[in-house]
Structure 1
Amino acid sequence: MSVLEGRRVLLVEDESLVAMMVEDMLVDLGCEVVMAMRLDKGVALARTETFDVAVLDVNLGEGRSYPVADILLARCTPFLFATGYGSAGLEPAYRSVPVLQKPYHVEPLEHLMIHLLTHETLPRIDTGKPPSLQFRATHTPGGFFKAEPIR
């Protein structure tokens, strides 16, 4: 059984064909997928639902997915960005977040998600306060990413 089996994944992707393709990839990996194709829906889901991990398209039609990322950081939910621009296309505050290079391919998606899920993270908390854009990025001995919000 894979570490991804039964994991709840928030997928924020505004291109419908791409979203369906990635959803199929995640379902094939054993994940339960909750999809948001608009920024406001992604924000609402990140605030009200619990996820094991999230995949965020950086550039959405109406803006960037950073508000969703901020909520996930505040709730200590691991996530990755998906973009065709690589980490250089991210705002400086987010450059240490793992990036999945688009177009999506199942092997790198699976690899990044497994590493996000198998490394120690902080317990989930919801302080009711607005999330901070500031976080401390650390790398574990294996070179993997771990984000810790600065409070």
Structure 2
Amino acid sequence: MKADARKPLSILVVEDESLIAMNLEMILEDLGHFVIGPVMTLKDLEKILDGDFRADAAILDVNIAGEHIFPYARRLADLGVPLLFASGYGASGIREDLAHHPVVPKPYTEDEIAGMLDTMLPA
């Protein structure tokens, strides 16, 4: 089943580069999903996670303003949120305890995002 044929999902987007964030937001909306964010700072992400947070999935840039996303990724994983890392370094930049989560290399396409969502989430 293609991602655009599935029910709409709420997807947290954490990306600090505005053009990449806007592109990912457009990709997800074109696929019929609802975007939470894009969240561009770890401080803003912390505020969201400290509230009544719910999402069907999260797409996380690995490096946010020079800081790693990994402590927040662990919090999201503990909440049961499926994670997809977006990284210019590929899977080699992911911490060992989080390496089982999928990674999409930057730059990515709509088809790559749709395919990753299809493999990580039930239809």
CA shift at 1:6, angstroms? 2.1
Instruction: Provide the C-alpha distance between the structure 2 equivalents of 1:47 and 1:78, rounded to a whole number of angstroms.
Output: 18
Give runs of aligned pairs for residues 128-147 of structure 1, distance below 5 A: none
Deviations along 1:46-96, one digit per CA (max 9) or x if unpaired, are 343100011000011040111221111111110110001111111222222
Instruction: Provide the C-alpha distance between the structure 1 equivalents of 2:105 and 2:41, rounded to a whole number of angstroms.
Output: 20
Deviations along 1:29-57, one digit per CA (max 9) or x if unpaired, are 00100110111212332343100011000
| TM-score when normalising by structure 2 | 0.88
Q: In the alignment, is the contact (CA less than 8 A) between 1:13 and 1:37 conserved in 2?
A: yes
Paired AA for residue 11 in structure 1: V
Equivalent residue for 1:101?
A: 105
Equivalent residue for 2:10?
A: 8
Say which SS state the counterpart of residue 100 (structure 2) adopts: coil
Say which SS state the counterpart of residue 20 (structure 1) adopts: helix
Q: In the alignment, is the contact (CA less than 8 A) between 1:39 and 1:62 conserved in 2?
A: no
Q: How many residues align?
A: 118
Equivalent residue for 1:44?
A: 47
Paired AA for residue 39 in structure 1: L
Instruction: Provide the C-alpha distance between the structure 2 equivalents of 1:69 and 1:44, rounded to a whole number of angstroms.
Output: 14
Instruction: Provide the C-alpha distance between the structure 2 equivalents of 1:101 and 1:93, rounded to a whole number of angstroms.
Output: 19
Structure with the bigger RCO (C-alpha within 8 Å, sep 6+) is 2
Deviations along 1:5-46, one digit per CA (max 9) or x if unpaired, are 421000000000110011000000001001101112123323
Equivalent residue for 1:148?
A: none
Instruction: Provide the C-alpha distance between the structure 1 equivalents of 2:26 and 2:50, rounded to a whole number of angstroms.
Output: 25
- Alignment partner of 2:34 out of 32, 35, 41: 32
| TM-score when normalising by structure 1 | 0.73
CA shift at 1:97, angstroms? 1.3
CA shift at 1:104, angstroms? 2.1
Instruction: Provide the C-alpha distance between the structure 1 equivalents of 2:49 and 2:83, rounded to a whole number of angstroms.
Output: 11
Task: Mark the runs of 5 or more structure 1 residues left unpaired by the alignment.
Answer: 120-151
